[in-house]
Structure formats: C-alpha cells, structure tokens
Amino acid sequence: MAKRVLLVDDEKDMLFMLRFRMEAAGYEVISAEDGIEGYASALRDKPDIILLDVLLPGIDGLQLCRKLKDSEALSGIPVLILTASNVKDVERKCSDAGADGYLKKPFDSLELLGKVKFLLGDSCGREESGE
C-alpha cells in the first residue's frame, strides 16, 4: 500500500511541485496550507509522514511539530521540517521541537526523497541531526 505523505506549506506553488515529485515517486499526497488545518488533517487522515514548512500562518511550524509530538495519537508519525528560514540555530530549534529531521530550501529532490524513504523505512529510528 502506498504510503501517505502530508504536506503542510502555505506556498501553493511549493505544494504543487512537491505533490508532483511525491506522486511520481509513488506516494499518496495530502496537503494543508496552514498549521491548524495541518493538525486537523493529521488527526483525520493519519499520514505515514509529515513534511512541514516552518513559516506558517497561524501556528508556526515548530509549534505545530511540538504539538504533533506531544499528542499521543500523532507522536509516532515522523516529521520532516523543510525550511527556507535563516534563523539562528535552526537546527537546534527543529531538534528541540521534536522533529525527526530537517532540510533547507532549496533542497535537492534526491536528498529529499532519500530522507523520506529513510524515515518511513525505519519508523523507530531517530535521526541525529539534520543535513
């Protein structure tokens, strides 16, 4: 059965490209354009992996990540953070928020696919640090 990927990003075009890429790689893609919808979708649609952008309207990506990890039902889902942010210590912040990995935009699509595969294939493993 195809794995389900939840994309959360407020950039429609980004969602468009990612969907293309993911579906071509054989994944089922669902998406949300803000944090709250993202959370709701996670609850409702039970994805196998969540790809999260940091800068989101409403609740920001890191907070959402924290929420997901704190929720009993959802903590098992691996979260990969994609960020174009230049914030200091973004690596640490992602790690603090409980993310399982992160990738900086613009990213290399092969790298992205690799990471997704890894996270899906080894659902109890923990990545040390992004990149």
Partner 1 sequence: MTDKLLRESGERLNSIFDSMQTGIVIIDAGTHTIVDANNAAVRMIGAQRREIIGHICFKFICPMESGGCPITEFGEYLEKSECMLLRADGNRVPVFKSASTITLDNHKYIIESLVDISERKWMEELLIESEEKYRVIFENTGAATIIADEDRMIYMANREFVRISGYAREEIEGKKYWTEFVHPQDLERMQCYHLDRRACCPGRKTPDKYEFRFLDKSGAVHNCLVTVAMIQGTKKSVASIVDITEHKRTAEIIHEKEERLRNIIANVPGVIFRSSFNADRTMEFISNAVENLSGYKPEDFMSGGSRAYTGIIHQEDRRRVGEIIGAAVAAKAQYAVEYRIFHAGGGQRWVLEKGQGVFSPEGAPLFLDGSIFDITERIQKEEEIRHVYRMMRSILEKAPMGIYTVNASGNIDYVNLSMLMISGVSREEFIGYNVYELPSYKRIGLDEKIKRAFDGESFFIGGVEYHGHKSEKNTIRNFTGMPLEEGHEKKVLVFVEDITERSRVEKLKDEFLNTVSHELRTPLAITREGLSLIIDRIAGDLNEKQAHILSVAKDNIDRLGRIINGLLDISKIDSGKVELKKSLVDMNALIRQVAVSFENRIRQRGLELRLDLPPEEISIYADSDKVTQIFVNLVGNALKFTEKGHIEISLKHSLGEITCAVRDSGAGISEENIPKLFSKFQQFGRKAGGGEKGTGLGLSIVKSLVELHKGAIRVESRLGEGSSFVFTLPSFNSEELFREYITNGIKDARSRDARVSLIMISVVDFEGVRQRIPQERLHAALRGMERLLEESLRRAGDVAVKDTCEIIVLLSDCPRESAVAVSGRLKETVLDYLRREGLDKEIKVDFGIATYPDEAGNDEELISKARNK
Q: Where does this chain bind partner 1 (CB under 8 A)?
A: 11, 13-14, 16-18, 20-21, 24, 55, 84-89, 91-92, 95-96, 105-107, 109, 128-129
How far apart are CB 49 and partner 1 at their closest, in Å? 18
Could you tell me the sign of the dihedral formed by the alpha carbons of 83, 30, 15, 56, in that order?
Answer: negative
Token output for 103: 């990738």
If the CB atoms of residues 73 and 87 are measured against partner 1, the closer one turns out to be 87
Residue type, 68: L
How far apart are CB 72 and partner 1 at their closest, in Å? 20
How far apart are CB 43 and partner 1 at their closest, in Å? 26
If the CB atoms of residues 72 and 89 are measured against partner 1, the closer one turns out to be 89
10: Cβ–Cβ under 8 A, 6 or more apart, which residues? 33, 34, 53, 55, 56, 57
If the CB atoms of residues 44 and 89 are measured against partner 1, the closer one turns out to be 89
How far apart are CB 44 and partner 1 at their closest, in Å? 27
If the CB atoms of residues 16 and 45 are measured against partner 1, the closer one turns out to be 16
